[in-house]
Structure 1
Amino acid sequence: MFQEMRYRGPSLDELHENYAKQHRIDDAAPFRSTHEVVINAPAERVWALLADPAGWSAFDPAIREVSVAGDGTPAVDTRFTWVNGSAKIASRFAVVEPLREITWTGTAMGSRAAHRHLLTPRQDGTTLLRTEESMAGTLLGLVYNKAKLHAELTRWLDSIKTAVEQS
């Protein structure tokens, strides 16, 4: 437990450039989780939701105050800020591959995270959406844990699934 609380992980720039842009999370981070769902819709509809950060609050009420730099369109290295629950997060897109992957890194309250989303179209017209996230930060374990991260990822994907399937 002491090691988990002391692990800071790579710098945010290193996490962004050498992990997220390389299609990976920090496997040494003390807080990691994955979750996946099958969505009864084509990848185009799933992608449209994920690639519209300003619209995330429409399906996830914990998200608000999203501001994306430039024209608001996700692109590699585009910065965005948002509030998720009580945490204000400063993020940057690392991978934007339409219909395949959208990944960002971010920092909030001294923690650093890499969050990947992988879309896999299936032959039956559905889409497998998989997410994986790593979080690290000194003393993060005092206010956060793996179970909470997993619950948040589950809620996030369930919200996306419901929104896509109802549209």
Structure 2
Amino acid sequence: MRYAVIAPGGAEGRLLTVAPAAGGLAVTEEAAPPALLATVREAGFTRGAVILDTSADPLSADSVDDPVAQLTYAGPAADALHAEHAARGLVDDRAPTRAQGQITIQAPPERVFAVLADVETWPAIRADISDAHAEGPAAPGVRFTWRGGANLFTSRWGIVTPGERLTWTSVVPGARAAHVYDFTPDGAGGTLLRCRESLAAPVLARFISSAVLQAGVDSWLAGVKAVAETAT
């Protein structure tokens, strides 16, 4: 398997191919094929360096067991991530960065669901979120945007079952994530909220580990709990 780094910012772009060779690695450079540049741009990369795998699908590694493949895996395209994962209540199990967690909330599932499904309340859930806007009420396929720190995410609801399950995808240049939340009555009038997330982020994988994603999941759960338990 070969790996490539492409900088699509220029008129042509350059393609660096890294392949095993006697005594180490061999690096070659050539003009990037126009079709490859088009694929990269369609995936949301418009400038800078992008690590690619040169399999049949240049943005998807054949295996994420290889440490290098873990850095190059970009996951399914945004539409496929929505249709094949979020819309089916699944995260991307091939993504090297994954996390999950759960928390008990002293509020009924319907209230907890309403808090998380209202995108415009997200800044109250996490202090680093701002500019959260949706095209309309939460429903399958409805898109929304939100800013997490310096990153502007474009998201789309997958499953929207009030009081039971809420899923969505989030895309930003360089990363694609799937989020699955399940709401279960705890038998005492409260809710057991479970979360699963996956993240495919070429290049960024070396900086965003599963431990980092886990911290994010934990902060989401704690934030939803705080808002839901004080909601009236």
TM-score, normalised via structure 1 length: 0.94
Asked if 1:82 corresponds to 2:146, the answer is: yes
Q: CA deviation at 1:166?
A: 2.5
Moved over 6 A (4+): none
1:131 to 195, 198, 207: 195
Query: What does 1:59-74 align with in structure 2 at a 5 Å threshold?
Result: 59-69=125-135, 72-74=136-138
CA-CA distance at 1:6 after TM superposition? 1.2
Partner of 1:165: 229
Could you tell me how far apart the structure 2 residues matched to 1:152 and 1:86 are? Answer: 15
Alignment of 1:51-130 (within 5 A): 51-69=117-135, 72-130=136-194
Q: Does 1:145 align with 2:209?
A: yes
Q: 2:106 aligned with 1:40, yes or no?
A: yes
- Following superposition, the deviation at residue 152 of structure 1 comes to 0.5
Displacement after TM superposition at 1:63 (Å)? 1.0
* 1:99 counterpart SS class: coil
Q: Which has the higher helix share?
A: 1
Offset of residue 65 of structure 1: 0.2
- Quote the residue 1:6 is aligned against: 72
Q: CA deviation at 1:36?
A: 0.4
Task: Please say which structure displays the higher CA radius of gyration.
Answer: 2
Secondary structure class of the residue paired with 2:171:
strand
Matched positions, count = 165
Q: In structure 2, what is the Cα distance between the partners aligned to 1:144 and 1:16?
A: 22
Identity over aligned residues, as a percent?
38
SS across alignment from 2:202: coil
Cα shift at 1:7: 1.0
Once the two structures are superposed, what CA deviation does each residue of 1:55-109 show, in whole Å capped at 9, x if it has no partner? 111232111101111xx31111001010012221011111111111111111113
Match of 2:93 in 1: 27
Structure of higher RCO (CA pairs closer than 8 Å, 6+ residues apart): 1
Please report how far the alpha carbon of residue 124 of structure 1 lies from its aligned counterpart in structure 2 after TM superposition: 1.1
What TM-score, normalized by structure 2, do the two folds share?
A: 0.69
The question of whether the paired residues in 1 share the 8 Å contact of 2:72 and 2:203 is answered with yes
Could you list the runs of 5+ residues in structure 2 that have no partner in the other structure?
A: 1-66
Alignment root-mean-square deviation, CA: 1.1
Q: Which amino acid aligns with 2:214?
A: H
